[in-house]
Structure 1
Amino acid sequence: MDDGARVLVVDDEPMVRDVLSRYLERGGFEVEAVADGERALAAFEASRPDLVLLDLMLPRIDGFEVFRQIRARASSPVIMITARGQTTDRIVGLEIGADDYVSKPFSPAEVVARVRSVLRRSSATAPAASEASLRFDDLEIDAAAREVRIDGRSASLTPKEFDLLLLFASNPRRVFSRFQLLDELWDVAFDGDPATVTVHVRRLREKIEAEPSHPRRLVTVWGVGYRFEP
């Protein structure tokens, strides 16, 4: 399933680049590794990888800016690499739409597992024709094309935000706890921090709700989780 998928590794530490490249190549991935933000953007533009492993502390152009420029060009999944204990960096990364994160020091095997999980979620098999489009008044979800429209206007969602919305919309009025959502969308490779669900729900509301602070579609069930109102 992952054979031949292209991964761009961006980290200024030679040992990190070398170790991740070797483990990913053993896993069947095609890997390109670069050391700074400028080279990262050039490599992304040249090869359009299927996934980017992106360190935040980069010379020339920092990881956050690299991420923003990547997102402006494509929806390729991005896993951010953060320093140990940098909770703020992780939260900000998730706020701006990163699909996952890993913290240094990490297990290379775990990183490969996370890469597989994110790729699997972002390239899931298209649904049957009868399920390819969901419509709820002004909200239309084209599952086959992975597109969302509000009042006919396209909404720009990250791959994870789209997966989250599709899961909710496919199960209207079903209540999901944050840990259930972690199991469904982040799979076994994720370390189980429910804060990322809160961040993604908030970001999704900002894109699909007329009043994100008073959501009509994506409703909080206090003490339990969230549900989608059709």
Structure 2
Amino acid sequence: MAYRVLVVDDEAVIRARLKGYFEKEGYEVLEAQDGDQMWYEFNRQHIDLVMLDINLPGVDGLSLARELRSKSHVGIILVTGRDETIDKIVGLEMGADDYVTKPFELRELLVRVKNLLWRMSLVKKAVADSAEQDDPNDNIIAFNDYVLELNSRQLSHNGEQIKLTKAEFELLTAFSLHPQQVLSRERLMMQTSHRNQDVNDRTIDVIIRRLRNKLSAELFVTVHGEGYLFAAKVKD
């Protein structure tokens, strides 16, 4: 079956351009001009990936991305006319997987879509393989009074759930799998889904600051000039 892509943009010309191009590449493409139409399409059928413009009438694309991520693991690519670094960082923190800046090349966007769908397929396979393991504890990482469940992507502290964005979950998983080790920003970047050349070191710094706010700050030690160290003692 062809992947189903939902294009959310208030400009009809852009929607038509993306629809025509991606349908020629073998994708099924749906359209929405605002958040209401997006939710209508999203709730009535399976969507593999959403191309979401930030500047929408009504509810903006960043807020829609955050709500989408809270309800689904659908692929999200933000499309924006702005090029400020802070917008990109906020978009990734809201749960987007990638972004492109207008004006964009259709071939570049196609590559980003293919790469994201490929990474998503690898994650699904890894989760399925993990679920088939005999020992359910292989899915659980425990440190201090925290429990991180890999399959469900949930974190709890003394039984109380802590909500994590996708980027926060991926970084915490990378840290917990390499405790007491210094991890460079470049290595941490490779552990996440946001592996494109436009994202700089500050992205990692911002995500770690958010993890410090949600967990114990002393768990994440800054090693100047090298990276970060996860100070927790992880239980086998």
Question: Contact conserved, 2:176 with 2:230, CA < 8 A, in 1?
Answer: yes
Displacement of 1:23 in angstroms is 4.3
Match of residue 221 from structure 2: 219
Stretch deviating more after TM superposition (185-194 or 198-207): 185-194
Displacement of 1:86 in angstroms is 3.5
1:150 equivalenced with 2:152 (yes/no):
no
Question: Contact conserved, 1:114 with 1:190, CA < 8 A, in 2?
Answer: no
Question: Contact conserved, 2:223 with 2:229, CA < 8 A, in 1?
Answer: yes
- Please give the TM-score of this superposition, normalised by the length of structure 2: 0.79
Q: In structure 2, do the counterparts of structure 1 residues 180 and 229 end up closer, same or farther at CA, with 3 Å as the change threshold?
A: same
Displacement of 1:48 in angstroms is 4.9
Displacement of 1:117 in angstroms is 3.5
- Map Cα deviations across residues 135-193 of structure 1 (whole Å, 9 max, x no partner): 11312122223222222222222223222211121111222222222233247644342
Paired AA for residue 55 in structure 2: M
| TM superposition outliers: structure 1 runs of 4+ over 6 Å | none
Report the secondary structure of 1:185's partner residue.
coil
Match of residue 55 from structure 1: 53
- Map Cα deviations across residues 25-63 of structure 1 (whole Å, 9 max, x no partner): 455543322122221222223235233221111123322
Displacement of 1:112 in angstroms is 2.8
Q: In structure 2, do the counterparts of structure 1 residues 218 and 28 end up closer, same or farther at CA, with 3 Å as the change threshold?
A: farther
Q: In structure 2, do the counterparts of structure 1 residues 188 and 154 end up closer, same or farther at CA, with 3 Å as the change threshold?
A: closer
Structure 1 vs Structure 2: percent identity of aligned residues? 38
Segments of structure 1 that go 5 or more residues without pairing to the other structure are: none
CA distance in structure 1 between the partners assigned to 2:70 and 2:153 by the alignment: 17
Report the secondary structure of 1:117's partner residue.
helix
Structural RMSD (CA)? 2.7
Rg larger in structure? 2
Match of residue 228 from structure 1: 230
Of 17, 31, 35 in structure 1, the residue corresponding to residue 33 of structure 2 is 35
Paired AA for residue 197 in structure 1: I
Segments of structure 2 that go 5 or more residues without pairing to the other structure are: none
Question: Contact conserved, 2:171 with 2:191, CA < 8 A, in 1?
Answer: no
Match of residue 140 from structure 2: 133
- Please give the TM-score of this superposition, normalised by the length of structure 1: 0.80
